[in-house]
């Protein structure tokens, strides 16, 4: 175990176990009492056997002993129940807290973290790793305490009966621990394989079903089917291997237990024949061996859990300790009084050595409508992300009304600035709920008003369920243009002061686009519109051309047309396309 792992276990204990020490101590008392009861009743059985062997048994003494055994067994069971109620329930509560803290740590992270961490990996941490740590906190701690107390009581009682038989009977037990550890480890690895293969199978099937249109269009059904068959075969092979290992577990345990009992029978039988041990004591030994098996097997099992949870704990704490790249003040140092945007000498790169934005400088007055055009991959979306502070620039500064973005709290910033991303994402909820993501307190009337502004209210009201229409996974039940306009409505419902539309009108026809732009004008918010269409940009107050991460031209539409060859070419081409469409509508 590395130093880091040891520190992590100490942190876990301090953070989650220490505050519950009373309950855990109670658990310790319960497990001790339970094992005291179960360690004591074989002694009564032994005495009863001896009394019967002597021929001195009476009905009263038999009844008394039976009652005592019954009470001790009930006591043992009840205390074991209380142990589980305390320790296992506590571990479930800690699991809940751990998951909550893990989620909070994820929520703190910046965009760069999510660029790096695939969703599947994060889901695996949130499920497998937390489950492994829970196993340590609950079952591992409980079985360790159980093993310790059972072993202590039973050993003392066995030694008081006959040290030699005790020593011989214990000989095979370390092998029990070792074989549970070995087989347990193999079972664990095999079941991990089964789980991984199953999730791969499910993940692939899910992707295939969500991309069913592409699969049909490219006639890939046969390929998908054969892939599914291959994956299913791998899954069944792993499952059979797991079943074989599980089947091996019990017989090998029974073999070792049987050999221990055989030794007791041989050595103990010899002692009884020699008259140095009573038959009752021999009977007690048999019961004690039975009682020791599971606690000893638990040693191997617990060792496996500790190893697994150590690895999981390291992974969880590594993420929980990760400092978010961006930090936001709790409260804004100063609120902007105007909503002008300043961008001074901003440079940015995602990875070292590959600049995406270089020395970008502009100033946009409050209420301005600004168009940004540029070739594919020139950094338009990146600039939008920087303006919404999803990333911080490597150098330079961005301000709103002369207040640097870093001085605003996350809440204030998100209320002020809203992005409609290039690929609209809708949740599989109703339209109203999707819109309310932008403002949870919006009334139905406000939701409807936002839909009207985004020119989609009429279409929504024509759906049978209207606002309560469920849009399907990622909005699959809607058209591309409908999805885009819902994403705009979602941004508008929060009444932002600065609106960033990243190619958010590309799937909308020019007439509808014109209406939406007129609605946006009426809101008087500073608006940046990224587009590949000149018709979207030409009515803006200001146009910026972004090429290869640099602003190569800015000014009014007419000015940029005169100064930027990229803009000029794009304009001429689109004019030509437009004329061809008008003159040859059926071509
Ligand atoms: N998360 C990321 N990590 C690394 N590189 C990225 C990341 N996101 C984008 N890039 C790279 O940054 C460059 C600019 O991308 P960006 O999305 O800003 O371009 P864009 O101008 O919006 O293009 P488009 O017109 O296609 O939307 C591209 O070369 C892209 O490959
Ligand atoms: Mg883009």
Cα 552 to ligand 1 centre (Å): 18
Q: Which atom of ligand 1 is nearest to the CA of 422?
A: 27
What is the residue with the minimal CA distance to atom 9 of ligand 1? 382
Q: Which atom of ligand 1 is nearest to the CA of 383?
A: 18
The CATH number for 341-421+497-583, chosen from 3.40.50.300, 3.30.930.10, 3.40.640.10, 3.40.980.10, is 3.40.50.300
**Per-residue pLDDT for 265 more than 80?**
yes
> Ligand 1, residues 380, 384, 530: which to mutate, most atoms within 8 A of Cβ?
380
Instruction: Please count the helices (runs of H) and the strands (runs of E) in the chain.
Output: 22, 10
Cα 386 to ligand 1 centre (Å): 12
Cα 479 to ligand 2 centre (Å): 20
Q: Predicted confidence band at 72 (pLDDT cuts at 50, 70, 90)?
A: very high
Q: What is the mean pLDDT of the chain?
A: 86
What is the residue with the minimal CA distance to atom 17 of ligand 1? 381
Cα 446 to ligand 1 centre (Å): 35
What is the residue with the minimal CA distance to atom 5 of ligand 1? 350
Cα 379 to ligand 2 centre (Å): 7
In this structure, the residues whose C-beta lies within 6 A of any atom of ligand 1 are: 115, 350-351, 356, 374, 376-382, 422, 503
Q: Which atom of ligand 1 is nearest to the CA of 546?
A: 21
What is the per-residue pLDDT for 74? 94
Cα 124 to ligand 1 centre (Å): 28
What is the per-residue pLDDT for 415? 86
Sequence-separated contacts (24+) of 577-586 with Cβ below 8 Å: 578/535
Contacts of 348 (CB under 8 A, 6+ apart): 355, 356, 357, 379, 382, 386, 391, 393, 394
What is the residue with the minimal CA distance to atom 1 of ligand 1? 115
Query: Do 472 and 448 touch, CB atoms closer than 8 A?
Result: no
Which token pair is 435? 């819109």
Q: Which atom of ligand 1 is nearest to the CA of 351?
A: 4
* pLDDT digits 0-9 by tens, 341-386: 889 999 999 988 889 998 999 888 888 899 999 999 999 999 999 9
Q: Which atom of ligand 1 is nearest to the CA of 111?
A: 1
Which residue ranges make up each domain of the chain?
1-162, 163-276, 341-421+497-583
What whole-number percentage of the chain has pLDDT above 90? Answer: 16
How far apart, in whole angstroms, are the C-alpha atoms of residue 67 and residue 41? 11
Cα 374 to ligand 2 centre (Å): 10
Q: Pick the residue with more confidence: 57 or 21? A: 21
Q: Which atom of ligand 1 is nearest to the CA of 379?
A: 18
Cα 382 to ligand 1 centre (Å): 6
**Per-residue pLDDT for 548 more than 80?**
yes
What is the residue with the minimal CA distance to atom 6 of ligand 1? 350
Cα 549 to ligand 1 centre (Å): 10
* pLDDT digits 0-9 by tens, 211-243: 888 888 888 888 989 999 999 999 899 889 888
**CA of 348, nearest ligand number:** 1
How far apart, in whole angstroms, are the C-alpha atoms of residue 459 and residue 146? 66
Q: Which atom of ligand 1 is nearest to the CA of 503?
A: 27
What is the residue with the minimal CA distance to atom 24 of ligand 1? 376
| Least confident interval from 165-179, 512-526, 572-586 | 572-586
How far apart, in whole angstroms, are the C-alpha atoms of residue 236 and residue 563? 66
User: Dihedral sign, CA of 181, 187, 188, 190?
Assistant: positive
User: Dihedral sign, CA of 132, 134, 135, 140?
Assistant: positive
What is the per-residue pLDDT for 444? 85
Strands lying side by side in the sheet with 395-400: 355-364, 341-349, 395-400, 403-404
Burial class (CB in 10 A: 0-12, 13-18, 19+), 58: exposed
What is the per-residue pLDDT for 229? 92
| Least confident interval from 118-122, 272-276, 548-552 | 118-122
Q: Predicted confidence band at 584 (pLDDT cuts at 50, 70, 90)?
A: low
What is the per-residue pLDDT for 67? 92
What is the residue with the minimal CA distance to atom 23 of ligand 1? 377
> Ligand 1, residues 382, 383, 420, 506: which to mutate, most atoms within 8 A of Cβ?
382
Cα 204 to ligand 1 centre (Å): 27
Which residue has tokens 């709290």?
409
**Per-residue pLDDT for 586 more than 70?**
no
What is the per-residue pLDDT for 212? 85
**Per-residue pLDDT for 76 more than 90?**
yes
* pLDDT digits 0-9 by tens, 287-327: 998 888 788 878 877 887 888 788 888 888 988 888 888 88
How far apart, in whole angstroms, are the C-alpha atoms of residue 552 and residue 30? 76
**Per-residue pLDDT for 472 more than 70?**
no
From residue 439, how far is each of 165, 377, 415, 450 by CA, in Å?
76, 32, 9, 11
What is the residue with the minimal CA distance to atom 25 of ligand 1? 376
What is the per-residue pLDDT for 585? 56
Neighbours of 131 (CB within 10 A): 14
Q: Which atom of ligand 1 is nearest to the CA of 384?
A: 18
**Per-residue pLDDT for 565 more than 90?**
no
**CA of 374, nearest ligand number:** 1
Cα 566 to ligand 1 centre (Å): 19
In words, the CATH class of domain 1-162 is mainly alpha
* pLDDT digits 0-9 by tens, 122-169: 887 888 888 888 888 888 888 888 888 998 888 898 899 889 888 888
What is the residue with the minimal CA distance to atom 7 of ligand 1? 350
What is the residue with the minimal CA distance to atom 16 of ligand 1? 379
Cα 549 to ligand 2 centre (Å): 12
For the chain, the C-alpha Rg in angstroms (whole number) is 36
The mean pLDDT of 399-419, rounded to a whole number, is 88
Which residue has tokens 């590309």?
506
């Amino acid at each position: 175990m590395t130093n880091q792992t040891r520190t992590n276990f100490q942190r876990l204990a301090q953070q989650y176990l220490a505050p519950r020490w009373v309950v855990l101590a109670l658990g310790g008392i319960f497990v001790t009492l339970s094992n005291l009861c179960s360690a004591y009743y074989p002694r009564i059985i032994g005495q009863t056997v001896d009394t019967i062997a002597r021929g001195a048994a009476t009905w009263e003494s038999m009844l008394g002993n039976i009652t005592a055994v019954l009470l001790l067994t009930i006591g043992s069971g009840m205390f074991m129940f209380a142990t589980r109620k305390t320790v296992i329930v506590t571990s479930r509560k800690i699991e809940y807290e751990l998951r909550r803290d893990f989620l909070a740590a994820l929520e703190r992270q910046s965009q760069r973290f999510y660029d790096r961490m695939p969703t599947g990996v994060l889901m695996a941490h949130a499920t497998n790793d937390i489950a492994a740590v829970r196993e340590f906190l609950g079952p591992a701690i409980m079985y360790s305490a159980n093993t310790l107390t059972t072993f202590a009581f039973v050993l003392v009682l066995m030694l008081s009966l006959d040290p030699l038989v005790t020593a011989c009977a214990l000989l095979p037990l370390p092998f029990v621990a070792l074989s549970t550890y070995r087989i347990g480890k193999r079972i664990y690895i095999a079941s991990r394989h089964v789980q991984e293969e199953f999730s791969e199978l499910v993940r692939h099937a899910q992707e295939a079903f969500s991309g069913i249109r592409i699969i049909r269009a490219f006639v890939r059904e046969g390929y998908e089917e054969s892939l599914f068959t291959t994956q299913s075969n791998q899954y069944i092979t792993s499952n059979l291997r797991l079943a074989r290992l599980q089947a091996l577990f019990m017989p090998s345990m029974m073999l070792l237990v049987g050999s221990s009992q055989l030794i007791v029978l041989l050595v103990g039988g010899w002692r009884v024949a020699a008259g140095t041990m009573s038959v009752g004591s021999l009977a007690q030994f048999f019961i004690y061996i039975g009682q020791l098996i599971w606690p000893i097997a638990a040693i191997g099992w617990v060792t496996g859990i500790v190893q697994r949870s150590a690895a999981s704990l390291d992974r969880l704490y590594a993420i929980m300790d990760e400092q978010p790249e961006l930090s936001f003040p709790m409260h804004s140092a100063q609120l902007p009084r105007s909503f002008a945007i300043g961008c001074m000498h901003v440079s940015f790169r995602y990875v070292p050595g590959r600049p995406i934005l270089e020395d970008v400088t502009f100033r946009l007055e409050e209420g301005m409508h600004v168009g940004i055009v540029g070739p594919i991959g020139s950094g338009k979306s990146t600039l939008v992300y920087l303006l919404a502070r999803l990333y911080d620039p490597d150098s330079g500064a961005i301000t709103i009304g002369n207040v640097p973005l870093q001085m605003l709290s996350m809440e204030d910033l998100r209320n002020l600035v809203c992005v409609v991303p290039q690929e609209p994402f809708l949740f599989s909820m109703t339209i109203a709920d999707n819109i309310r993501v932008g403002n949870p307190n919006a009334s139905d009337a406000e939701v409807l008003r936002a839909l009207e502004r985004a020119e989609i209210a009429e279409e929504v009201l024509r759906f049978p369920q209207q606002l309560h229409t469920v849009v399907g996974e990622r909005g699959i039940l809607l058209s591309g243009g409908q999805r885009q306009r819902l994403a705009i409505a979602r941004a508008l419902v929060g009444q932002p002061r600065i609106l960033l539309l990243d190619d958010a009108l590309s799937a909308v026809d020019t007439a509808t686009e014109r209406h939406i732009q007129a609605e946006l004008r009426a809101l008087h918010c500073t608006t940046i519109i990224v587009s590949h269409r000149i018709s979207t940009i030409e009515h803006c107050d200001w146009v910026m051309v972004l090429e290869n991460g640099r602003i190569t031209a800015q000014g009014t539409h007419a000015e940029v047309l005169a100064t930027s060859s990229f803009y000029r070419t794009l304009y001429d081409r689109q004019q030509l396309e437009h004329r061809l469409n008008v003159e040859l509508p059926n071509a």
